[in-house]
Amino acid sequence: MSRFQISNIKVMKEHQTITPESILASVKEMFAEIRAETAKTSAEFDRRMEEFDRRIKELENTGGKWLDDYRYDDDPSFYECLDLKNQKYFGEYFYSSAAKSSGPKKNGDKGRYEYGIQLWNDKSVGLMEYVFDSDCVAKLINKAQTYREDDPYYKTHQVYLGAIIKDFDHELETECIREGIAILRKVGNKIVVNDEHIKAF
């Protein structure tokens, strides 16, 4: 084997005789360094991802109400299109309504009992909220339970749920139907209601 220079292999010095063993040793050393650097980079990457996940969870917990507000305010005209005198919702007529209002509160608890739209009559309450995914459906179902629990006046009322869905999402609609939640959509100046499958909560 002839003598020559290899400048990019650290362990080999200038004008060193190259042998298969020396090349193999140099390559092993280079791979060991690459592995060590990769492990270090990977650990840093994992640390950053954990930090990112932590911040996302923090935003979900503290920013949820802002997100709900944004979602509702995105289309405030939905409430204006409700026609309580001429249209049934949840198979009934309602005589009173409120948009983006607070429901019954217990022990000063606030955000948990805010609802997009509430409808009332003598025997029923209708709760309508924008629904974008399965998490929203679960939260809406939970609100039906807490609504009646936290105000004795509504203890004997039927509570119906309505999912305001802006986009056509077959899976989401199927989930609402399975859970007994009415599906509401604004079409022009009218509210189209699919409530054949509803159940009282």
32-64 per-position pLDDT tens digit: 888 888 777 777 777 777 776 676 666 555 545
Q: Specify whether 87 is located in the same domain as 136.
A: yes
Query: Is residue 201 a part of any domain in this protein?
Result: no
Cα distance between residue 33 and residue 131, in whole Å: 52
Co-location of 100 and 176 in the same domain: yes
Domain count, the chain: 2
Answer yes or no: do 106 and 170 share one domain.
yes
Q: Are residues 60 and 92 in the same domain?
A: no
Query: What distance in Å separates the CA atoms of residue 22 and residue 42, rounded to the nearest whole number?
Result: 30
d(CA 64, CA 60): 5
Taking alpha carbons only, the member of 164, 201, 158, 159 closest to residue 182 is 164
What does pTM read for this prediction? 0.58
Whether residue 183 is contained in a domain is answered as: yes
Percent of the chain topping pLDDT 70? 73
Tell whether 7 and 101 lie within a shared domain: no
Domain finish residue from 73, 105, 129 = 73
The pLDDT value recorded for residue 122 is 92
Judged by average pLDDT, the poorest of 59-73, 79-93, 94-108, 181-195 is 59-73
From residue 187, alpha-carbon distances to 5, 49, 82, 94 in Å are 78, 42, 12, 21
**Range of the structural domain that residue 28 is part of:** 1-73
| 8 Å CB contact between 118 and 95 | no
Over 90: is that where the pLDDT of 163 sits?
Answer: yes
Q: Which of 94, 95, 163, 105 is nearest to 134 (CA)?
A: 163
Q: Which residues contact 160 (CB under 8 A, 6 or more apart)?
A: 89, 90, 124, 125, 126, 127, 182, 195, 198, 200, 201
- pLDDT higher than threshold 50 for residue 6: no
Mean pLDDT score of the chain? 76
Which residue spans within the chain are E strands per DSSP? 96-102, 114-120, 124-130, 158-164, 182-187, 190-194
